Amino acid sequence: MKNTELPAGRTARAPGREHPVRARLARSLAIGAVIAAALVAFEDTYRHAALAASAARPLPHGGHQSVASILASGFAGAAVVVTVVVFTISTVAAYRRRARQRATWRGWEGDREPRRRSRAGSWR
């Protein structure tokens, strides 16, 4: 192995910041799955009669749909939508937090302290 190559399985990131996007996506998926499961449990408990009536009607091509397939497709759809929304919100929040930290810290000026703002909302 050359000095310029990284060992297998390692990245060039700092030790505390391994994969923030993967962690954010994993948290978003977990939140999406929990919310979708709660929605499906509610639908199965309180709207089971409406689901059964909907499943009893024939589809245009002559087939039938089961209650379980309706609930499964609802779970998948809700999980995807909630995951995308939570991931987008957390990514924007992380970007804004990182931009705010970079704007207040003046490392190139040799300051040891972060830059103090004279009034709220001022960037100069």
CB 80 within 8 A of CB 32: yes
Per-residue pLDDT reduced to its tens digit, 65-122: 888 888 899 999 999 999 999 999 999 998 888 888 777 765 555 555 555 556 665 5
Q: Residue 53: pLDDT above 90?
A: no
Distance, C-alpha 119 to centroid of its chain: 34
What is the residue extent of each domain of the chain?
Answer: 20-58+65-106
Please report the pLDDT score of residue 103 as a whole number: 72
Q: Residue 14: pLDDT above 70?
A: no
pTM: predicted TM-score of the whole model, two decimal places: 0.65
What 3-state class would DSSP assign to 34?
helix
Residue 28, exposed/middle/buried by CB under 10 A (0-12, 13-18, 19+)?
buried
Residue 31 or 58, more confident: 31
Q: For the beta carbon of residue 90, count every other beta carbon within 10 angstroms.
A: 18
Please report the pLDDT score of residue 109 as a whole number: 57
Q: Residue 13: pLDDT above 70?
A: no
Distance separating the N- and C-terminal Cα atoms of the chain? 48
Q: Residue 31: pLDDT above 90?
A: yes
**Mean residue pLDDT across the chain:** 78
